[in-house]
Structures are given as C-alpha cells and as structure tokens.
Structure 1
Amino acid sequence: MHLPPRGGGPNAHASRRLALARLFGVSAALIVPASALAHAVAEGDKGYIQEISGVNLISFAYLGAKHMVTGYDHLLFLAGVIFFLYRMKDIGLYVSLFALGHSTTMLLGVYLNVGINSYLIDAIIGLSVVYKALDNMGAFQRWFGFQPNTKAATLIFGLFHGFGLSTKIIEYDISPDGLVPNLLAFNVGVEIGQLLALAAILIAMGFWRRTDGFWRHAYTANVVMMTAGFVLVGYQLTGFAVS
C-alpha cells in the first residue's frame, strides 16, 4: 500500500511543512548524535563477552535483545515495512521474512567468520531505510513505472541486516567454546527484542492511524524516514573514507 498523490490548498501545504520541520527536528536530535553508536558494542558488554567462555545462554540472549531494541537502523526499516500493513497476517509474513534474512546471515556469518566492513554494511542498512521510505511514498511507480517485489526486498535487506549483526558479533571476539549454542541464544534474543520493539511500534501506529492526521502526515513521516536513512548512509561512508 502506498501514499495517495499529495494535494490540498495552501493551508495543507503549510501544515505539511510545519509537521516536516517538527519531525525532522526530532529525527535529527535522536539520530544524528546516536549515529556513532550504530551497531556499537558497549565497552562493558564487549569486555564481558571476551572474558567468559562456555555456554552462557542467558547472557547472549540478553545481548541479542539489547542490540535489537537499541538498533535504531533496524527499527527504522521495520517501522517502514509495517507502515501500511494493517492485517496481522501480513505483518507476520513480512516480519518473518525479515527475521529469516537477518538470522541466516548472522548465524552463518559468525560461524564461518565472514565479516564485512562495518561502515559499508551499515551504509547498506541505511539504504534499506531509504528504499522502504521511497517505496511507501510510491516513488518507484511514479519514477520508473514499476513496483519492486516488496517481499523479496524485505528478505534481501534482511540478509544485509544480518551481516551487520554478524560483523559486530565477530568484533566481540567470543570464545569458540560454546559458540553454536551462544549464537543461537543471541539470535533468540534478537527475535525477542524485535517482537518487543514491534509491539511498541504497532501500538504507537495504531493510535496514530485512528487520528485524522495520519493520512495528512504519512508522507511527511516517510520523508523524515528517508532523510534519516540518508544521514546514516552519509555518516557511514564518511567513516569509511577517513578510516
């Protein structure tokens, strides 16, 4: 589902501009200062993981959940995916495709020790946010006359999000003793965190959709989401260039 063509008189345009300014200000305050923390490993967590060995299911599940609920790039993409989904059947399908993608590459990436430059993979994750915002705005149909397969795109970008996770887990330098069960526990934690974040997003979206302002400001919200994605891409590419 996409946004209808924008319309309205001067008052509607002024309302959109005001809402855009407010939302962009909030986005900048939340995203730009936190950009240095994208997929970051807290020093305390990193030190703890490096010191322990053996099977530590609860610890790794906690870290997985913590990573997901604080991973704003993952959450932005997830919010974009469900932005126009109303039926739980559809939400479950798309979230499952995303989970399948990031679980597969996260587990295989760590187990096979396949890492990708963290700046580049995070830039791709930022692009996934840009893509989803543009898709929600119907930009691909207007610009190119075709609609990308949204299910395939969700799965494919999920694979890249998983590589973002695996790249940071590799940086944990975790002990090979108990690696497989610990990785599975981490993945379970990621899914728990994703469900918690999804529940919060759905509750907020549910209240918003009941208001008269939802359709008036949905376009603006996706513009802000797209802007946030470009900020992430720019930050990560700058980091890659100077690193």
Structure 2
Amino acid sequence: MQHRLRLSAPGSRAPWLHHRYTFFIAVAVLLLALAGDAFAHAVAEGDKGYIQEISGVHLIPFMYLGAKHMATGYDHILFLLGVIFFLYRMKDIALYVTLFAIGHSTTMLLGVYFNIGINSYLIDAIIGLSVVYKALDNIGAFQRWFGFQPDTKVATLVFGLFHGFGLSSKILDYSISPDGLVPNLLAFNAGVEIGQLLALGAVLIAMSYWRRTPSFWRHAYTANVAMMCAGFVLIGMQLTGYFVS
C-alpha cells in the first residue's frame, strides 16, 4: 500500500515556499537543464558509431550498452524514484518495478522489431509527464483536486510502455543491422534491466538512510515538488525541441 502526503490546507504556508526549499528546487531544475542530452535518451557518439558499424550477434556489447543507457537515464530514474518513494516492503517494490519493466520491455522490443517510429521529442515529453504525474500522486494531489485516486499499478504499467517507446525510438535512429537483431535486442533489454536494478539499488540505499532520519517526513513534500519541477523542465525542453526541429 502506498502512502501519500496531504497537500497543505488552504491558507496555510506550504513548506516548499521557504527560501531554503525554493533554493533546493532551483538547484534541481538547474542540474536537469545542464543534463539535457541525458534526458533525450542520448547515446554517446562512440556508442552510436559502434552500433551502426557492427553486424551479427554481439550479446555482451549490447548488454553493456543497455545497462549504461538505463543507469544514466535520469528520466527513468526520476520516475522510479517517484514510484518507490513511499514503498517500504520489498514485495511492493518488486511488484511496481516488475510492472514498469514489463511495460518498457514490451514496447522497446516490439517498437524496434516492427520498426514503429515515434517522434522522440514527443515520447520524451510524455516521459517527463510521467515524472510529474508520480510526484503529484505522491503528494495526494489527485484526491484533493479531483476526489479520486488513479490506479497506481495501471499507471506504472502504462507509463512503462511509453518509456519503452522512448528507448525504441532512439534505437531506431541508429539503424541497427538486421543480422542478429533479435538476440542483440534481447541482450540490450537484459542490460537495461541490469542497469535499472543497479540504479534502483543505489536509490533504495539512499532512501533507506534518509527514511531513518526525522528530516524525511519534513522534506518529503519538498522532494516531490522538486521532482515535479524536474518533470516540467523535461517536458518544456522536449516540446521546445519538437517545435524548433
């Protein structure tokens, strides 16, 4: 069962309006702006050239590329952070992470195999929206504003599908050789899951220490507002790229 924070009552002073919290949010947004390439599912030029030049089955290299991409994919990590923010039991964490993995694995594999190309700017904007959604969900905004609670399991799966299309759209840009395509894609996906587990493990370790301190509940609201701001920055960057490209 997921916990959620209540929004501040009307007329009360929201904690994130304090100057220290505003500074924290501004720093987070600045870091996101500086990391713009990473948010666009960027692949290093050396990796891109390697993908375009090779043919045949190369399981280990593609597994490495998948793990590297996921471990440095800040949009994926932000969404996962939001998903596990108030999850304490490992079985709950495993359930939500599995739903997310099923979603992004399905659309990544099918998108590349059937050559389903979707504009990467629009997909990445939706991925940014997933971060905003999860932050709002964590602070109880939907219950307060609309009087209902979206199914978090369904939302995690659906947004996982969009995250997968983000991966497939970028892979299609690199014209992977059809020779050995399926094994290489499966290896890449296995690497993505490994990278996801590594990133998730680091997040869980940090969260476990933070949750033991009194500051967790004092700053949980602020952290989710910062996450929401990061999502909006990502949406704005991608929509700007879409309209000017």
TM range (shorter): over 0.9
Partner of 1:182: 184
TM-score normalised per structure 1: 0.95
* 2:16–2:222 Cα contact (<8 Å) kept: no
Partner of 1:132: 134
**CA displacement at 1:27 relative to structure 2:** 1.0
**CA displacement at 1:21 relative to structure 2:** 2.5
- Sequence identity (%): 74
* 2:104–2:165 Cα contact (<8 Å) kept: yes
**CA displacement at 1:15 relative to structure 2:** 7.8
Q: How does 1:106-121 map to 2 (within 5 A)?
A: 106-121=108-123
* 1:16–1:216 Cα contact (<8 Å) kept: no
Paired AA for residue 219 in structure 2: H
Aligned pair partner of 1:40 in 39, 42, 58: 42
Within 2, Cα distance between the matches of 1:36 and 1:59? 22
Aligned pair partner of 1:198 in 197, 200, 204: 200
* 1:16–1:220 Cα contact (<8 Å) kept: no
Within 1, Cα distance between the matches of 2:19 and 2:196? 32
Task: Give a deviation string over 1:88-136, Cα, whole Å, max 9, x none.
Answer: 0000000000000000000000000001000000000000000000000
Partner of 2:165: 163
Partner of 1:83: 85
Aligned residues: 240
Paired AA for residue 185 in structure 2: L
Within 1, Cα distance between the matches of 2:70 and 2:76? 7
Partner of 1:65: 67
Within 1, Cα distance between the matches of 2:219 and 2:105? 33
Within 1, Cα distance between the matches of 2:167 and 2:75? 12
* 2:103–2:160 Cα contact (<8 Å) kept: yes
**CA displacement at 1:17 relative to structure 2:** 1.8
Q: Give the root-mean-square deviation of aligned CA atoms.
A: 1.5
Structure 1 consecutive aligned stretches of length 4 or more whose deviation exceeds 4 Å: 12-16
Query: Do the aligned partners of residues 184 and 15 (structure 1) sit closer, same or farther apart at CA in structure 2, a change above 3 Å counting?
Result: closer
Partner of 2:146: 144
**CA displacement at 1:18 relative to structure 2:** 3.7
Query: Do the aligned partners of residues 231 and 14 (structure 1) sit closer, same or farther apart at CA in structure 2, a change above 3 Å counting?
Result: closer
Within 2, Cα distance between the matches of 1:15 and 1:147? 24
* 1:19–1:220 Cα contact (<8 Å) kept: no
SS of residue matched to 2:173: helix
Partner of 2:26: 25
Query: Do the aligned partners of residues 212 and 100 (structure 1) sit closer, same or farther apart at CA in structure 2, a change above 3 Å counting?
Result: same
**CA displacement at 1:19 relative to structure 2:** 4.0
- In structure 2, stretches of 5+ residues that fail to align are none
Task: Give a deviation string over 1:167-186, Cα, whole Å, max 9, x none.
Answer: 01111211100000000000
**CA displacement at 1:28 relative to structure 2:** 2.4
Query: Do the aligned partners of residues 15 and 186 (structure 1) sit closer, same or farther apart at CA in structure 2, a change above 3 Å counting?
Result: closer
